[in-house]
Amino acid sequence: MSLEKMKGSDGCFVCDQSGKNPKALGITVYWDPEEKRAEIPFKPESDWCGFEGIVHGGILAAIADDAMSWALKQSTGTFGFTASMSVRYLRPVKSGGTYKAVGTVTKTDGRKIHTRSRILDEAGNTRVDAKGIFVTPKKNI
């Protein structure tokens, strides 16, 4: 399996690699062309926490959202806007651990793209499960 490293989006809170956003998480996104999924490996730092070593749910939602967004971009060749997203937090994500977010496109319905993302621990257990609907822009945007 050969993962393709994505450039990241300048200024993005999650994946900025350019330095334009000094508060960015600076996470690298990869694309798996065989599995048709985005992969985001990450090791949360202690300043990502909301409570005593547990990563803040908002940061986890942002990472899950990015995984879905990159899956959309790589699958369809265009970007989309998050229209709705649901997140289920199944197990704690702890700072210092090693995790991976994976994002896929599950269904395309015109400009609506249905997606799914999971955050997995090293053993492959799902810690966070998210679903999203993205809307691709009209040509005149």
pLDDT given at position 63: 98
pLDDT given at position 16: 87
pLDDT given at position 141: 55
Residue showing tokens 């009209």: 138
Q: pLDDT tens, position by position, for the chain (141 residues)? A: 689 999 988 999 999 888 899 998 999 999 999 999 999 999 999 999 999 999 999 999 999 999 999 999 999 999 999 999 999 999 999 999 999 999 999 999 999 999 999 999 999 999 999 999 999 988 755
For the chain, list the domains and their CATH numbers.
29-135 (3.10.129.10)
pLDDT given at position 1: 62
